[in-house]
Structure 1
Amino acid sequence: MSTLKLAISVPDVRLRFVEDPPAAQMERPSAGVYVLAPAHLPERDKTRHQIVIVQPDDPRLTDGRHLTDLMSLLVAGQATGVALALRDGTEVADEVRREAHRHGVPLLAIGPEPAKWMCLHRALTDDHHSRMQRTAELHSQLIEQLRHLGRTEGTQRIVSWLASVSDAEVTLTTARGTIAAAAPASAATATVLARERIAELAAAGRGRSAALDLADGRQMRLFTVGSTTPAPVLAVTCQSFCVEVSAALARVLDLLAARLALEEAERRHSRLQSGEHVVREAVFSLLMAGQVNAAKSAAVGLDPGTLDAGIARTFILKVPPPQRPAIVQQCHDEIGTKAVITACPTYPDRIVILVPSTIGDIEATTLSKLVTHTHTAPGRFLGGSALHTLDETPTAYQDAARALTVAERLPGRVHCYVTEIQLAYVLDQQHAGTWATHLLRPLHELPASRREPLLATLRLGLVFPPAATARMLGTHRNTAARRMAEAAALLGVDLQDVWQRALVGLALQVRAETAHLQSDADTPAVTDILDTPEVRRWAHQFLGRLDTDRRPLRETLTAWIRAKTRIEDTAQLVGLNPATVRIHLRSAEELLQRRLLTNTASTTPEGYVVPGAHDLVLAFFVVEGTTLRPACQEVLSGSR
């Protein structure tokens, strides 16, 4: 098992002893990291051979009685040591030093960054896993007759082999119960007779054994296996223990110890992989929420430098939901850690792959592998975005989602977003920036602690349904809904109205591009900033794609907008069957690279406005002068 000597040598983690340690402490076993929450007691079965990280402001470190109790619990739980998460220059209190020394608990210090804790945990777990693998390989070579038993059912095969060569009844009992047995009925009976002795040996730990004479003349020998406590106990019952049986036992005890340790290492490795999946999802969620620095800090635990490029391309791989976990791991194994690969927290059938564009040829390699994945099986589709900076990740995700909409209509099932000029980029920056600043001022005047959550929720809430927004932000759906309602009230808009929703989305995009400009004294109306030759050219080009289809797509779309994106109401307005309306919308999706239909009616909450309609609303207003509802006039005029 790994030791503290290895732990303090892990690069860039800066784990160190507070004082020069005795030599014995350097050799204390260390299997990983356990972070102690201030409001919780350490769980004894989880602190064994763990470096327990404690925050320096934990009240138990300043209260003498609680400090003593904490140290006692760590000793009882066989913790490797306690590490205080200290910033540079912070001193450890004398009382903490004395209590750690009195209890014989190694006292260490580590930086306050959680990413470094994860790096340390991963290094220890990987080293432990590597050691166990080498041990298992060595025993497989030494015991040639058992080399074919390295399968999933290896423990049972070893026990069965021992029973066959020694003509004995054999059981292996762990804290989880009897996990392997040969001649189960009679072996289990004998084990019941010795259960008290088995429990004593298990509690005593490694290197213990016992011999019992049974009433029927047979002998039972008990052996602890491995070095864990409580220890697994091997029970062997036979008529006599000859030299051959004893030799077989000596080999099997070592092999079983290695096999059980390897299984435990594999379970730990599986838990580490699960933790990495959580971190990757957190990195993506932080980027979607606009917290780029926090995302970079979290990504250090995956692979340092992953997000240093600052520019990335986003892909969305759509797969059947039951296949997603396996494909996520497969993509991670093939592409590596330089790309952020995660299950989309919003949609159960999407995998998000964020690929930095300046790290070697990873972008081309990733695209090639993703295309291969897509073509491997039916029901898979791939959409890719244009290049975007990390703070534009929400836009990149929308690009990839739009490309995915097109890919679902193509025979090849792969499409990369065709870069188009966004409306926000053709507006007069000075006038549009003044309008957007005026519209969003009630939010920007709030304290940062209140403003940032509202803005992050509003940006995503204009693109995703409420439940999806909550999952993307890692918060409760009621919290996301409350923030959306609060933002709408502050702005004085109705976010369930497609026109006002489109205008708020435009204002957020304009504000992001023009925040550095000084606002004009007079606030223009949105009708004025949309009444320019550049905007009209953009609108004609955007809607002109619809003219390549012979069907009256424009008429259907304008009716669909007037009907608040409701299919049945649209069908009545244009005199078509609802199925025909859906066909028109699907055709428009491919031409405009916009999602206009949700997958099923059950996925669309009441009052949710499809975000693909936002650009349509503004383009039709510019080109056709669509009459707006009276409730929108104040927003359009820029007045309050």
Structure 2
Amino acid sequence: MAGRADEGPRTPVPYRGTWAEELLDQLRPGARDPRRLVAWLARTVDATVCLRGGDGSLLAGEPITLDDPLVADVVTGRISAAALQDAGRHVRLVAIRHPGQPQPQNASTGVLAVVRRAPFDRDAAEIVTHTAGVVELLLRERALTAAGHRLRRATADLRLAILQLLMVEDTVAARRVAAGLWPGLLDTDTARVYVFESLPEDRDRLADECLDLTDGQALVVRCPAMDGHVIVVSPTPTAQDGLRTLVRERPATYLGGSLRQSLAQTAGAYGQAISALAVARFSPDHTAVYAERTHPERLMDPAVLHAWSADVLRPLDTLPHHTRAELLATTRLGLQFTAVNAAKVLGVSRNTVRARMDRVEALLGTDFADLTVRAVAHLALNTQAAHALAPADGAAPGAPAVRLDGRLAGLLAGPALGTWAHDLLGRLDQDGRDLRGTLRAWIAAGGNAERAAQDLGVHAQTVREHVRGAEPVLEHRLLTAGTDLYEVVLAHLAAGDLAAPVLGRANQGPSDAPVHG
């Protein structure tokens, strides 16, 4: 019979301990589990207990055959509780409401069913009623926690999307996306980029602490390419001091920072932060800021450099503006990082990155497997990006590409650049090993240690050790793609240790250096 409480005789039930205290104990932080609570209820009232969702799914307990129309009345909110006796069973149904999913007014999203052979006395009925309330609390907490996780994931994805827009120089769209949740965050023309390196298992906590420390005044992103990295884009000049405190508290964490750059140069600033991070690994305080140094492009005639970069990129000028911008931005990132990591940063597939770079290769009539070609293309692309060069006027459709060994030879012949190159590479001569010869052969082999070893008549591991040993001497990273590597390649070209590249050079084989995806 539904709707009437079947209390039975007032025979004391041997409940263990004080049931109210035990029920409250289920709310302890480490014990908040509906399944654990349902199991406790089953033991306490000596019954079979089932917690069902509004759709009939089993949330906790054991499956129980129930009167479906009666359960439907409870779920739809026609009644909030029911008690009945059926075939020797005493059954109690209590509606459970929690915000896990939308429901009509008064409807429930679950049913707590309790079945036992003995009648429900007053104590047992009271235990069931109070337990139902605790179940609602636990389910509500679970739903709110899940909603919080979804919100955090959504905001993390939004921060990544903003970073991806900055990486391709779309500052207008980045500001528009950021304005909704973080007003004023990107209301600036410049910012610094910082990169933390930590143990992967510590990264989420580190990112949360960065968010708390910057208080919405910086863009904090879990790096999509490196599991242990957290990227911070901070317009605030004083952010560095606060970020350093997070490193001091963690022995296995390092911090690299960039120079202040325009927002449109976020990708370049990120590269600077990565370079500084390599230095931070050997720094006593585990932090480093990118050291301003003489870059080869600053030693070249600006007018000649700009004209040369425009000529090199002229084959792309006939493309629609958005296509040209997309190809240039993708290629810059593909040369700065690997194709795989560039894809993660851009939020596209690696095949998309490679297809875009292949198209640029075809338009330029060159091959990015050649390290000298990559270095020269990197120089042209960065010159174009830094000075926002417009497509050259009067570019004829199908105009032949400029030979990279043409006007480039004049750029590389300047006395200031030659002095810089000889000074930089001359550091290698102080080492007892032939680091300079090994590095030259390694670059000529496209960064392939095995091929360089064959040319030198040594073991491939010797080549790798020499290249690795040259990094601290030159203060440049060589085993990963990016500005550091390409500057050293340009130094070899300017010093005459390597010949200037020619368009269309064939690929001589795979490289084991991560410079082509």
Q: TM-score range by the shorter chain?
A: 0.7 to 0.9
C-alpha deviation, 1:611, in angstroms: 6.2
Q: Distance in 2 between matches of 1:477 and 1:206?
A: 56
1:620 corresponds, among 478, 492, 505, to 492
Pairwise CA distance, 1:541? 4.4
* Residue of 178, 181, 185 corresponding to 2:58: 178
CA 1:292/1:372 → structure 2, altered by over 3 Å: closer, same or farther?
Answer: farther
Q: 1:365 to 1:570 in 2, by over 3 A?
A: same
Aligned to 1:67: none
Identify the residue that residue 511 of structure 2 maps to in structure 1: none
User: Does residue 291 of structure 1 match 2:170?
Assistant: yes
Aligned to 1:424: 297
Q: Which moved more, 1:498-507 or 1:364-373?
A: 364-373
- Work out whether residues 318 and 381 of structure 1, in 8 Å CA contact, stay in contact via their aligned partners in 2: yes
**CA–CA separation in structure 1 for the residues paired with 2:429 and 2:497:** 18
Q: 1:364 aligns with which of 241, 260, 267?
A: 241
- 3-state secondary structure, aligned to 1:351: strand
Per-residue CA deviation, residues 431-487 of structure 1 (Å, 9 max, x unaligned), is: 211111111122234221211111111111112222222222222222222211111
Aligned partner (choices 323, 341, 345) of residue 224 of structure 2: 345
Once residues 552 and 468 of structure 1 are traced to their aligned partners in structure 2, the CA distance between those partners, rounded to angstroms, is 33
Measure how far apart 1:267 and its partner are: 0.8
Identify the match of residue 234 of structure 1 among 87, 112, 115: 112
Runs (5+) with no aligned partner, structure 1:
1-142, 599-608, 634-640
**How far does the alpha carbon of each residue in 1:221-254 deviate from its partner, in whole angstroms, 9 at most, with x for none?**
1111116556210112343334434444443333
How many Å separate the matches in 2 of 1:173 and 1:215? Answer: 22
| AA partner of residue 249 (structure 2) | T
Contact 1:502 / 1:618 at 8 angstroms: preserved in 2? yes
Q: Distance in 1 between matches of 2:324 and 2:195?
A: 30
1:411 CA drift (Å): 6.5
Map 1:490-639; keep pairs closer than 5 Å.
Answer: 490-515=363-388, 525-547=407-429, 549-597=431-479, 612-624=484-496, 626-628=498-500, 631=503
Alignment of 1:145-160 (within 5 A): 146-150=23-27, 151=29, 153-154=31-32, 155-160=34-39
Using a 3 Å threshold, how does the CA distance of structure 1 residues 295 and 461 change in structure 2: closer, same or farther? same
Q: Which residue of structure 1 lines up, in the alignment, with residue 92 of structure 2?
A: 221
Shift of 1:268: 0.9
Alignment of 1:247-266 (within 5 A): 247-266=126-145
Contact 1:405 1:589 in 2 (8 A): no
> Residue 300 of structure 1: SS of its match in structure 2?
helix
Query: 1:309, 1:357 within 8 Å by CA — same for their partners in 2?
Result: no
CA distance in structure 1 between the aligned counterparts of 2:207 and 2:339, rounded to whole angstroms: 25
**Does structure 2 retain, via aligned residues, the 8 Å contact 1:557–1:585?**
yes
Q: 1:440 aligns with which of 313, 323, 328?
A: 313
Match of 1:208 in 2: 80
Amino acid at match of 1:503: V
Letter in 2 for 1:285: Q
The answer to whether the 8 Å contact 1:498/1:564 transfers is yes
Q: Distance in 1 between matches of 2:78 and 2:190?
A: 54
Shift of 1:203: 4.1
What secondary structure is seen at the aligned counterpart in 1 of 2:188? coil
Do the aligned partners of residues 267 and 515 (structure 1) sit closer, same or farther apart at CA in structure 2, a change above 3 Å counting?
closer
Letter of the 2:290 counterpart: Y
Compute the displacement of 1:269 (Å). Answer: 0.8
The Cα shift of 1:390 comes to 1.4
Cα deviation, residue 170, structure 1: 3.0
Query: 1:549: how far off?
Result: 4.0
Contact 1:406–1:415 under 8 Å retained in 2:
yes
Deviates more, 1:159-168 or 1:571-580: 159-168
Partner in structure 2 of residue 73 of structure 1: none
Shift of 1:548: 5.5
Contact 2:332-2:382 at 8 Å conserved across structures? no
Contact 2:257 2:272 in 1 (8 A): yes
1:57-206, aligned counterparts within 5 Å? 146-150=23-27, 151=29, 153-154=31-32, 155-160=34-39, 162-163=41-42, 166-174=45-53, 175=55, 177-181=57-61, 188=63, 191-192=64-65, 194=66, 196-197=68-69, 199-201=71-73, 203-205=75-77
Pairing 1:309–2:181 present: no
Candidates 324, 339, 348, aligned match of 1:466: 339
**Residue type of the partner of 2:132?**
L
The one-letter amino acid paired with 2:84 is: L
Question: Which residue pairs with 2:397 in the alignment?
Answer: none
The aligned residue for residue 159 of structure 2 is 280
Q: Find 2:355's aligned residue among 446, 469, 482.
A: 482
Q: CA deviation at 1:492?
A: 2.4
Report SS of the residue matched to 1:271: helix
Q: 1:479 to 1:249 in 2, by over 3 A?
A: same
Q: Does the residue aligned with 2:153 lie in a helix, a strand or coil?
A: helix
Q: Describe the SS at the equivalent of 1:346.
A: coil
2:115 maps to amino acid: T
8 Å CA contact retained: 1:405, 1:590 = no
Contact 2:73 2:79 survives alignment (8 Å): no
Residue of structure 1 equivalent to 2:6: none
Select the residue among 137, 147, 172 that pairs with 1:268. Answer: 147
Cα 1:612–1:528 change in 2 (3 A) is same
Distance in 2 separating the partners of 1:619 and 1:519? 29
Q: CA deviation at 1:168?
A: 4.3
Deviation at 1:167, TM superposition (A): 4.9
Q: Percent identity?
A: 32
Q: Is the 8 A contact 2:247 2:254 kept in 1?
A: no
Secondary structure class of the residue paired with 1:386: coil
- Seen in structure 2, the aligned counterparts of structure 1 residues 409 and 206 have a Cα distance that, compared at 3 Å, is farther
Q: Distance in 2 between matches of 1:268 and 1:518?
A: 49
Q: Once the two structures are superposed, what CA deviation does each residue of 1:366-393 show, in whole Å capped at 9, x if it has no partner?
A: 23213433x1x4xx44332222221111
CA–CA distance in structure 2, aligned partners of residues 410 and 577 of structure 1: 32
Structure 1 Cα separation of the partners of residues 357 and 85 of structure 2: 75
Q: 2:215 and 2:430 mapped to 1: Cα distance?
A: 42
Question: 1:400 is matched with which residue?
Answer: 273
Is the 8 Å Cα contact of residues 259 and 290 (structure 2) preserved in structure 1?
yes
The residue matched to 1:348 in structure 2 has which SS? coil
Q: Are the structure 2 counterparts of residues 514 and 199 from structure 1 closer, same or farther at C-alpha, using a change threshold of 3 Å?
A: same
3-state SS, counterpart of residue 120 of structure 2: coil
CA contact (8 A) 1:431 1:520 kept: no
CA distance in 1, matches of 2:320, 2:215: 41
Aligned partners of 2:95 and 2:287: how far apart in 1?
57
Would you say the 8 A contact 1:222–1:233 is kept in 2?
A: yes
- Note the alpha carbon deviations across 1:325-369, whole angstroms, 9 max, x for none: 4544454455543322222222334332222234xx433112321
| C-alpha distance 196-626 of structure 1, shift in aligned 2 (>3 A) | same
CA separation of 1:233/1:515 partners in 2, compared to 1, >3 Å: closer, same or farther?
closer
Q: TM-score when scaled to structure 2? A: 0.80
